[in-house]
């Protein structure tokens, strides 16, 4: 399995027989400047979206049309993206599970907000969410944009993820200290990959606090377009 950071909250996950793109934001993403956008999306089999904000949805329709990859998201957001021309995947909801070849994807709660600007005004796009991805003998918790929340307790207990991809940049999501607290209290990760940081100056720039807060856990600071093989 390869987990490839596309900067900010965007990932390419090569798992089982699937190539999953999660919140792929390429154009306007400072961390993807000068990177090979075609390589980032090549062979995509599914696009998963966590919520409606521009830094998670700007390129979804275009990438879907270019690759033919269907888009799956919470019901309201999915229906909006389909109306804009995205290839139709699943318009599902929290607790729902998609069977994607040898991989399963379950939608779980997050605590954030979700909207897209339409004709100059923000429009509600359904609840913000995260995902549990299972395949290749691993269970990944993709937190999506979130703060610490009590739901993490049952997510950790029920799904038992060994890999956590956690938003941890602060300001818009939990910060590194918060991510460390959540990881230690609610989960039993062997590997944690922080995201939604380093993109802009107001976000955290280092995962040192996270790493120090979860002794015994392998905290991997991702590098853009560099595979993390697990």
pLDDT in tens, 96-152: 999 999 999 999 999 999 999 999 999 999 999 999 999 999 999 999 999 999 999
Instruction: Write out the residue range of the structural domain in which residue 211 sits.
Output: 2-222
Residue 227 lies in a domain: no
In a 3-state reduction of DSSP, which class is residue 50? coil
Residues 76-95: tens digit of each pLDDT: 999 999 999 999 999 999 99
Residue 103 lies in a domain: yes
Residue 54 lies in a domain: yes
* CB burial of residue 113 (10 Å; 0-12, 13-18, 19+): middle
CATH of the domain at 68: 3.60.15.10
H helix runs in the chain, sequence order: 37-41, 54-57, 60-67, 75-83, 151-159, 176-186, 208-213
Residues 6-23: tens digit of each pLDDT: 999 999 999 999 999 999
Residue 230 lies in a domain: no
Number of domains observed in the structure of the chain: 1
The mean pLDDT value for 201-224 works out to 97
What confidence score (pLDDT) does residue 164 get?
98
Q: In this structure, how many other beta carbons lie within 10 angstroms of the beta carbon of residue 198?
A: 21
In a 3-state reduction of DSSP, which class is residue 73? strand
Residue 67 lies in a domain: yes
In a 3-state reduction of DSSP, which class is residue 148? coil
Residue 168 lies in a domain: yes
Residue 174 phi, psi dihedral angles, 5° rounding: -60, 155
Measured CA to CA, the distance from residue 110 to residue 147 in angstroms comes to 8
Q: What is the pTM of this model?
A: 0.97
What confidence score (pLDDT) does residue 195 get?
98
Residues 48-86: tens digit of each pLDDT: 999 999 999 999 999 999 999 999 999 999 999 999 999
Measured CA to CA, the distance from residue 58 to residue 133 in angstroms comes to 23
In whole angstroms, how large is the CA radius of gyration of the chain?
Answer: 16
What confidence score (pLDDT) does residue 176 get?
98
Residue 62 lies in a domain: yes
Residue 229 lies in a domain: no
Contact 15, 230 (CB under 8 A): no
Average pLDDT taken over every residue of the chain? 98
Edge-to-edge strands, sheet with 71-74: 88-92, 71-74, 46-48, 18-22, 11-15, 2-5, 228-229
Q: Which residues pair with 195 in a beta bridge?
A: 167
What confidence score (pLDDT) does residue 150 get?
98
């Amino acid at each position: 399995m390869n987990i490839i950071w596309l900067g900010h909250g965007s990932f390419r996950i090569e798992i089982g027989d699937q190539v999953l793109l999660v919140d792929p934001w390429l154009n306007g993403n400072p961390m993807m400047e000068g990177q090979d956008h075609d390589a980032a999306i090549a062979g995509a089999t599914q696009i998963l979206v966590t919520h409606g904000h521009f830094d998670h949805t700007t390129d979804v329709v275009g990438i879907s049309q270019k690759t033919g990859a269907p888009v799956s998201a919470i019901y309201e957001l999915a229906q909006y993206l389909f109306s804009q021309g995205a290839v139709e995947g699943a318009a599902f909801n929290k607790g729902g599970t998609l069977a994607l070849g040898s991989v399963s994807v379950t939608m779980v709660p997050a605590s954030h907000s979700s909207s897209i600007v339409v004709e100059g005004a923000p429009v509600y796009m359904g609840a913000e969410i995260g995902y549990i991805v299972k395949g290749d003998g691993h269970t990944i918790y993709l937190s999506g944009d979130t703060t610490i929340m009590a739901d993490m307790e049952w997510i950790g207990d029920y799904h038992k993820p060994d890999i956590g991809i956690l938003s941890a940049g602060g300001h818009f999501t939990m910060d590194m200290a918060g991510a460390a607290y959540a990881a230690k209290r609610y989960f039993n990760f062997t590997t944690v990959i922080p995201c939604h940081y380093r993109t802009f100056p107001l976000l955290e720039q280092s995962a040192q606090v996270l790493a120090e807060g979860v002794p015994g856990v392998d905290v991997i600071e991702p590098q853009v377009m560099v595979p993390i093989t697990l």
